[in-house]
Amino acid sequence: MTFYQIWVRSFKDGNGDGIGDLYGVYEKLDYIKSLGIDGIWLCPVYPSPNADYGYDISDYKNIHPDFGDLAQFRKVLDRVHELGMKLIMDLVVNHTSDEHPWFLESRKGKDNPYSDYYIWRDKPNNWDSLFEGKAWEYDEVRGQYYLHIFSKKQPDLNMDNPKVREEVKSIMRFWLDMGVDGFREDVINFISKKEGLPDGLPFIPAVNGMFAYKDGPHIHEYLAEFREVCNEYDCIQIGEGPMTTVKTALMYMTGKTKSLDMMFSFDHMMADCLYTEYIQRPFSLRKLKRAFSKWQYALNGRAWNTLYLENHDHPRIINRYGSVYFRRESGTMLAAAYIFQQGTVFIYQGQEIGMTNIRLRDIDDYMDISSKTNFSKYHINDPLDERMKRIYKSSRDSSRTPMQWSGLRYAGFSTARPWFKVNPNYHEVNVAAEENDPDSILNFYRKCVWLKKHCKTLVYGSYREFYPKSHRIYMYERVYNDSRWLIICSFSRLPAEVKLPPEYEGRARRLVLCNYRGSDPYDMHLRPYEARVYKFR
Ligand code: NOJ
């Protein structure tokens, strides 16, 4: 199964106000289907003040007026189903917006029915928030501090309160009754906090509380309750698990504590950074391969991986692990590098046409809260142009620029000026241009998705990596009964000679997919960022 992830605000504007919406999503469902997609993950579409663009929800059972209404949502859902696809929603229940009626009530006082919906304290602990200063904010009205792991406008819910869990289940039922097929669950490993909220390690800035708010003591109980709801509807639950290790992920996905079908892990997103893309280091292919293989080996036969390289939280992958100078070559190579591993593939809007990071002149041109706070928190003594370079490399906004549909005005995203700047490379990088080019990144993605869907070995086969120490080549096999595939990806901007593993040497082979024309299957000199997908006899 292959998923396509939509961040609605920047996907397609259907009503001409410059903001992507559910009318635009509806228009583009046939395009999504044409990629070979089986399921759609819709980022939050609920009413939200947009402090964190939809991840601060003020009404869980409605649609943001910018995006349409419940009737339009239903239309989208029905059409998705007609096209034989599934649709999953984002379930964001670690926190709400501070404008959610529960919070407005909760802050009124301790004898309020919503008083314990959030985490209130007279004295804060030492945790930093991931987005904005300290993790506690003093509320004048209530005369206490509330916890916010993310921004001040995202107070954490108190999941220890059974009433809050009932609310979550009611939200799940609301959407499941409407017919959605499951949930992507935001920072789900954060929802149970360690009793007493102990101080975190002071020398790890930003994540110092992580060990106290990640994988808390009641997490499996709470998730079991949510699982029961999902079981009634036979739907899928995919949990986002920041900083999840393989061992803990297996706890969520297997055995008695199994509550999630899959998890989004982050190890492979740190081959060029630490915790956040803002703390940069040079890209290391070996780190990337180590992360890939660790998860492939550990989950094989036990659980199922999610495979992704981009989403709305990371800058574009070509800038990070490929090269903008070899945009087509590295964009296609990266597709082959991850899609043929074992797991369910996720493709993020624009990734399939090789969209790249946007370079904005001024920090005020950026919209994302974490970009802005990273800018003012780290490396503040560096020269301004250095700091702007960091933002260019790291900002989440690069994945949130309007989708580039054509070379027309505003990249065909909207007829009005879009809510956010369009990447000026849209004349060259756009869906229409790539549709017409058989060698485009878009058409390569189509081939990869098709191949993955139609080849059992690439779905169920075992995984083995070769030459893990190579700084240039990522090579792995997939084997199922007698069927044997080898995927070879060059991460080098220079030509590279590859040696086949001894058991493959001299064997008959078919080069099923390659991102260059005219490659001789028996000549193992690879061109820059070449990717080859072989079937061996
Ligand atoms: C993870 C989401 O993917 C991200 O966009 C959001 O900012 C945080 N969780 C907080 O909800």
Residues 244 and 309 placed together within one structural domain of the fold: yes
Residues 233 and 177 placed together within one structural domain of the fold: yes
| pLDDT the model gives residue 23 | 98
Residues 131 and 241 placed together within one structural domain of the fold: no
Cβ 155 vs Cβ 118: under 8 Å = yes
CATH number for 485: 2.60.40.1180
Residues 80 and 117 placed together within one structural domain of the fold: no
Residues 466 and 436 placed together within one structural domain of the fold: no
Token reading at 291: 């992360």
431 lies in a domain?
yes
199 lies in a domain?
no
- In one-letter notation, the amino acid at residue 40 is I
Choose the final residue of a domain: 388, 421, 448: 448
456 lies in a domain?
no
Active-site choice (13, 90, 156, 186): 186
Residues 142 and 240 placed together within one structural domain of the fold: no
Active-site choice (240, 261, 368, 530): 240
Tell me if the pTM is above 0.95. Answer: yes
202 lies in a domain?
no
| pLDDT the model gives residue 333 | 98
Three-class DSSP labels, 315-363: CCHHHHHCCCCCHHHHHHHHHHHHHCCCCEEEEECCHHHCCCCCCCCCH
Range of the domain at 482: 461-536
Closest CA to 486 of 456, 466, 516: 466
Which residues neighbour 102 within 8 Å (Cβ) at sequence distance 6 or greater? 96, 114, 117, 118, 167
Residues of the chain whose pLDDT is less than 50?
none
The tens digit of pLDDT for each residue in 489-536 reads: 999 999 999 999 999 999 999 999 999 999 999 999 999 999 999 999
C-beta 51 within 6 A of ligand 1: no
Residue 101: CA atoms inside 13 Å, Cβ hemisphere, count? 6
For residue 471, the CA-to-ligand 1 centroid distance in Å is: 32
Choose the final residue of a domain: 416, 448, 480: 448
Handedness of CA 18, 22, 23, 26 (dihedral sign): positive
DSSP-derived 3-state class of residue 42:
strand
Token reading at 5: 């992830």
Token reading at 152: 């001040």
The terminus-to-terminus CA distance of the chain in angstroms comes to: 26
What is the atom index within ligand 1 of the atom nearest the CA of 311?
3
Q: Going by CA atoms, what residue is nearest to atom 8 of ligand 1?
A: 55
Residues 269 and 339 placed together within one structural domain of the fold: yes
Residues 123 and 24 placed together within one structural domain of the fold: no
Residue 240 catalytic?
yes
Q: Going by CA atoms, what residue is nearest to atom 3 of ligand 1?
A: 313
405 lies in a domain?
yes
Residues 437 and 526 placed together within one structural domain of the fold: no
207 lies in a domain?
no
CATH number for 253: 3.20.20.80
Residue 61, φ and ψ in degrees, nearest 5: -115, 35
Which residues neighbour 407 within 8 Å (Cβ) at sequence distance 6 or greater? 426, 427, 428, 430, 432, 433
A 10 A CB-CB count for 71 gives 9
Domain count, the chain: 3
What is the atom index within ligand 1 of the atom nearest the CA of 396?
5
Residues 496 and 525 placed together within one structural domain of the fold: yes
Residues 283 and 310 placed together within one structural domain of the fold: yes
Distance (Å, rounded) from C-alpha 266 to C-alpha 313? Answer: 11
C-beta 90 within 6 A of ligand 1: no
| pLDDT the model gives residue 277 | 82
For residue 511, the CA-to-ligand 1 centroid distance in Å is: 40
Choose the final residue of a domain: 448, 483, 501: 448
Q: Going by CA atoms, what residue is nearest to atom 11 of ligand 1?
A: 55
Residues 105 and 87 placed together within one structural domain of the fold: no
The tens digit of pLDDT for each residue in 508-519 reads: 999 999 999 999
The tens digit of pLDDT for each residue in 70-121 reads: 999 999 999 999 999 999 999 999 999 999 999 999 999 999 999 999 999 9
